[in-house]
Structure 1
Amino acid sequence: MSIEIAERLGLAVWVKDLKAARSLGRMGNIHYVSKRLKYVFLYIDGRKADRMIPRIERMPFVTRVERSLRRELATEFHS
């Protein structure tokens, strides 16, 4: 029996209203909410990202959505 770990994608979602931003929890896992800068960092399933991001962008309280660039960063360092 093998357990398959879902690939997840981090999103920074900039919002107008933080109370309404709680509804983003239905889309994925909310990791962090910045009250001062008004953004929510959430993780979504990477395989469903192409369908989920346009749905999030269409929400009335969302101003913009940015994908995490963590996958593109080099994580191996040589000395």
Structure 2
Amino acid sequence: MMIERSGLIIWVNDIKAARNLERFGSLHYISKKMNYAVLYIHASKVEETTRSLLKLPYVKKVEKSYRNEIKTEYSSDVPDKTRFYTL
């Protein structure tokens, strides 16, 4: 049984304070150079978590990740041309 998760990209002012985001969900990554964090949460709690994150003083902006909406199943209708380029 897989739980539906959704990703949030959280732009922050302070990296040290961004470590506190673990209490909202699974903190996957913190970028020190670009000042953002990637947080995974239950898909049913996206709206309420976003509202509570925006109230924090060190959060600039919260964006929803579109990774779940990207097509990951590919079809191979095109024939493989690698056999023509072998020695």
1:50 to 44, 47, 51: 47
Q: CA RMSD in A?
A: 1.0
Gaps in structure 1 of 5+ consecutive residues:
none
Q: Number of aligned pairs?
A: 76
- The Cα offsets for residues 9-35 of structure 1, whole Å up to 9 and x where unpaired, read as 111100000111111110011101100
In structure 1, the partner of 2:82 is none
Given residue 12 of structure 1, which amino acid in structure 2 is its aligned partner?
I
Paired residue for 2:65? 68
The correspondence for 1:78, drawn from 69, 75, 78, is 75
Q: Which has the greater radius of gyration?
A: 2
Q: What residue number does 1:10 align with?
A: 7
Asked if 1:34 corresponds to 2:54, the answer is no
Q: Distance in 2 between matches of 1:74 and 1:6?
A: 19
Give the C-alpha shift of residue 58 in structure 1: 1.4
TM-score, normalised via structure 2 length: 0.81
Q: Name the counterpart of 1:24.
A: 21
Q: Matches of 1:12 and 1:50 in 2, distance apart?
A: 14
Report deviation, 1:5.
2.7
Counterpart CA distance in 1 for 2:51 and 2:14 is: 19
